[in-house]
Amino acid sequence: MPKQSLPLRLDFQSYLAERQRFVERALMRAVPESGQGFRLLSEAMRYSLLSGGKRIRSIMALAACEAVGGTAQDALGLACALEMIHSYSMVHDDLPCMDNDDLRRGKPTNHRVYGEAMATLAGDALLTDAFYVLATWHTPRVPAEIALRVIAELACAAGSAGMVAGQAEDIESEGRALTLEQLERLHGRKTGGLFMAAVRGGALLGGGEGAALEALTAYASAIGLAFQVTDDLLDVESSAEQMGKRTQKDGARGKATYPSLLGLKRSHELAQQLKQKAIAALESFGQSADPLRALAHYVVDREV
């Protein structure tokens, strides 16, 4: 896909780097090295939480908050909670009883370093602590009712009606043929929910409502799917070295993916269409939504 379609390319790179540092610093506070708890547990949590990562979900939450007039600080608790929940889901997904992966972001997976028991507990703690951060890191301008609503939306997106359901269905459907519709529903839960909670949550914390919130919901819906289609494509088209994790594993396991259902060419077209759809949803926003527009390009045109 033509890389020149990415606007603000240079500026966006520094924006991204700056935001990644901003989120990273906050995450270090959210899971302190010498916490009140058990030192080895904190270490295992930090091993996965602070192992890099693009931080797309959290940066999207900050950008959505700012798009409606909030400050990045207003959504910082949500940003951390999103990364903590994303991180826990990776740690548990990598476990021997799940995907049994040895490599994540170019490093041994959590259970390869800390053992299965500690990895399970580190995931549990990251998930639980995410809600602690969400319930306590507030700026005074966010009403408590809004904070509660954001907790509810994130828990819904991550729980038995969302991400965990998607993961369970994914495991159960291995080797089974899925229709495009079934695949879309599965990914809507497994991946889309967190993007939705990121963008809507950020918008709510920034004071967004009505038509603005609706537009951002449409953006999130398209971008969540675009992310997954692109992930499926990267799994087929990239090497393990580039990705820092095992690739080509979906095909090996007989998992239905967009490339397997649509072919490479149509999957690329779909990703581009979803990107355009996401950007079109931001029409009523001015410059304040430029980061969200650039993030849409980034999600689809990224190389890892």
Task: List residues near a copy of itself by CB under 8 A.
Answer: 31, 35-38, 40-42, 45, 88, 92, 95, 97-98, 115-118, 120-121, 123-129, 131-132, 134-136, 143-145, 147-149, 151-152, 155-156, 158-162, 164-169, 171-172, 189
Neighbours of 229 (CB within 10 A): 28
Interacting residues of 15 by C-beta distance below 8 A, sequence separation 6+: 8, 291, 294
Q: For residues 28 and 164, which CB has a smaller minimum distance to a copy of itself in the complex?
A: 164
Within the chain, residue ranges assigned H as helices are: 9-30, 39-49, 56-67, 76-93, 110-136, 144-158, 163-172, 180-187, 193-205, 210-237, 240-243, 249-252, 258-262, 264-280, 290-301
Q: For residues 44 and 292, which CB has a smaller minimum distance to a copy of itself in the complex?
A: 44
The DSSP code for 185 is H
Taking the complex as a whole, the smallest distance from the CB of residue 153 to a copy of itself amounts, in Å, to: 9
Q: How far apart are CA 28 and CA 47, in angstroms?
A: 11
Taking the complex as a whole, the smallest distance from the CB of residue 57 to a copy of itself amounts, in Å, to: 16
Nearest to 195 by CA among 56, 74, 34, 31: 56
Can you tell me which residue has the tokens 């369970």? 168
Taking the complex as a whole, the smallest distance from the CB of residue 274 to a copy of itself amounts, in Å, to: 23
Q: For residues 161 and 240, which CB has a smaller minimum distance to a copy of itself in the complex?
A: 161
Taking the complex as a whole, the smallest distance from the CB of residue 142 to a copy of itself amounts, in Å, to: 10
Bridge partners, 291 (sequence order): none
Q: For residues 147 and 289, which CB has a smaller minimum distance to a copy of itself in the complex?
A: 147
φ and ψ at residue 107, rounded to 5 degrees: -125, 160
Q: For residues 18 and 174, which CB has a smaller minimum distance to a copy of itself in the complex?
A: 174
Q: For residues 60 and 127, which CB has a smaller minimum distance to a copy of itself in the complex?
A: 127
Taking the complex as a whole, the smallest distance from the CB of residue 228 to a copy of itself amounts, in Å, to: 17
Taking the complex as a whole, the smallest distance from the CB of residue 52 to a copy of itself amounts, in Å, to: 21
Q: How far apart are CA 65 and CA 212, in angstroms?
A: 11
Contact 92, 120 (CB under 8 A): yes
